[in-house]
């Protein structure tokens, strides 16, 4: 059905595509700027060995964020279609549901890395790389940006991401300037680098998107928190208890403390997510598939 010919090209379309692409590039710059700049600063002031220690928590958070990004990419065309057809209420529901799923995915990751990150680093890399507090600061700083990644893709689909991209870039630049000032005046450390990255991320690519999207979609902040954050947060209370209990039960045993706490916590979390987080349509579809399998083999 597609027809490609030079006569169909127009400067107006090319200009619109370049503007849209430029705004998308700007929106993706803050994480790159902050992570690479903080790594260069750590290497310059503290040396390659400190950079190796700093890179391990950053790598864990980057993998978690990549997982959320893959989930969120599919929302851009959906949001654009809903906006074009004038289905504003459906767009708001997409806003709520996508954030709710993002919170459900991001919160267990952040809790595990915050409460048992030192155990994971010890098991993975050894005691030399055990920086639990550093990983906890980075994980907590990434929580809000991770949950807002689907919202950012919705804004891209609505072509409303230019201003928020500039805000994120400006926040990252300010955070970087403050970090450089601190480094020159009081010295540099891994914790200062983590705080700089976490605060800049939370404000520029987290809170700013949060407030901007609520304003654009005419949604109150309280309603957004209740419909998107409250239920996943309550469901994760047993996971927190399991992670804390396993640390006390296995004080000097990293492997049992980590895997027992995570294993039992996830086993409790999954049915809670199925009942209270998963949309009704998906629950019905899953139940129907299970019934078909039971009818076929039982």
For the segment 71-81, the average pLDDT, to the nearest whole number, is 83
**Average pLDDT score over residue span 246-267:** 90
Using 50, 70 and 90 to split pLDDT, how confident is the model at 298?
low
Per-residue pLDDT tens over the stretch 210-239: 999 998 889 999 999 999 999 999 999 999
CB within 8 Å of 108: residues ≥ 6 apart:
236, 239, 265, 266, 269
74: pLDDT confidence band, cut at 50, 70 and 90? confident
DSSP string, 90-101: HHHHHHHHHHHH
CA nearest neighbour of 262 among 279, 275, 252, 250: 250
Tokens of 209: 């998107």
Helix (H, G, I), strand (E, B) or coil at 169: helix
First to last CA, the chain: 47
User: HEC states along 108-161?
Assistant: HHHHHHHHHHHHHHHHHHCHHHCCHHHHHHHHHHHHHHHHHHHHHHHHHHCCCC
Q: At what angle do helices 190-202 and 162-186 cross, to 10 degrees?
A: 160
- Identify the band that residue 176 occupies on the pLDDT scale cut at 50, 70 and 90: confident
From residue 255, alpha-carbon distances to 7, 16, 17, 66, 71 in Å are 65, 54, 51, 26, 30
Q: What is the 3-state secondary structure (H, E, C) of 253-279?
A: CHHHHHHHHHHHHHHHHHHHHHHHCCC
- Please answer whether residues 132 and 81 qualify as being in contact, where contact means their C-beta atoms are separated by less than 8 angstroms: no
Q: Give mean pLDDT, residues 63-88.
A: 83
Distance CA 132, CA 247 (A): 13
Q: By C-alpha distance, which of 14, 144, 27, 20 is closest to 80?
A: 20
Question: What is the band of 253 on the pLDDT scale with cuts at 50, 70, 90?
Answer: confident
pLDDT for 201 beyond 90? no
* Cα–Cα distance list, 222 to 121, 226, 230 (Å): 37, 6, 10
**CB 273, CB 286: distance < 8 Å:** no
**Segment 130-139, tens digit of pLDDT:** 888 999 999 9
For residue 290, the tally of other CB atoms under 10 A from its CB is 10
Average pLDDT over residues 154-179: 85
Q: Is 159 left (phi over 0), alpha (psi -120 to 50) or beta?
A: left
Quick check: 102 and 147 in contact, CB under 8 A? yes
Q: Distance between CA 31 and CA 205 in Å, rounded?
A: 8
pLDDT of residue 167 exceeding 90: no
Phi, psi of 10 (to 5 degrees): -145, 150
């Amino acid at each position: 059905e597609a027809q490609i010919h030079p006569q169909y090209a127009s400067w107006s379309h090319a200009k619109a595509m370049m503007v849209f692409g430029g705004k998308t590039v700007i929106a993706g710059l803050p994480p790159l700027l902050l992570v690479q700049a903080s790594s260069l600063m750590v290497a310059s002031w503290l040396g390659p060995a400190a950079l190796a220690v700093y890179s391990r928590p950053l790598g864990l958070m980057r993998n978690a964020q990549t997982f959320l990004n893959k989930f969120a990419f599919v929302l851009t065309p959906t949001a654009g279609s809903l906006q074009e057809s004038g289905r504003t209420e459906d767009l708001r529901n997409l806003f709520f549901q996508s954030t709710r799923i993002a919170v459900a995915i991001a919160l267990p990751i952040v809790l595990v890395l915050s409460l048992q990150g030192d155990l994971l680093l010890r098991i993975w890399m050894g005691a030399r790389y055990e920086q639990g507090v550093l990983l906890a600061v980075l994980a907590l700083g990434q929580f809000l940006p991770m949950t807002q990644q689907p919202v950012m893709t919705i804004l891209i689909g609505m072509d409303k991401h230019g201003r928020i991209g500039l805000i994120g870039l400006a926040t990252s630049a300010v955070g970087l300037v403050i970090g450089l000032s601190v480094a020159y005046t009081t010295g540099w450390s891994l914790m200062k680098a983590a705080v700089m990255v976490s605060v800049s991320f939370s404000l520029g690519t987290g809170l700013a998107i949060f407030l901007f999207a609520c304003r654009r979609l005419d949604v109150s902040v309280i309603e957004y928190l209740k419909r998107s954050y409250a239920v996943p947060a309550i469901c994760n209370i047993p996971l927190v208890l399991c992670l804390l209990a396993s640390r006390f039960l296995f004080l000097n045993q990293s492997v049992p403390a980590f895997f027992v706490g995570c294993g039992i916590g996830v086993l409790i979390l999954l049915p809670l997510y199925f009942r209270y987080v998963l949309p009704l349509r998906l629950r019905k579809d899953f139940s129907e598939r299970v019934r078909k399998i039971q009818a076929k083999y039982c």
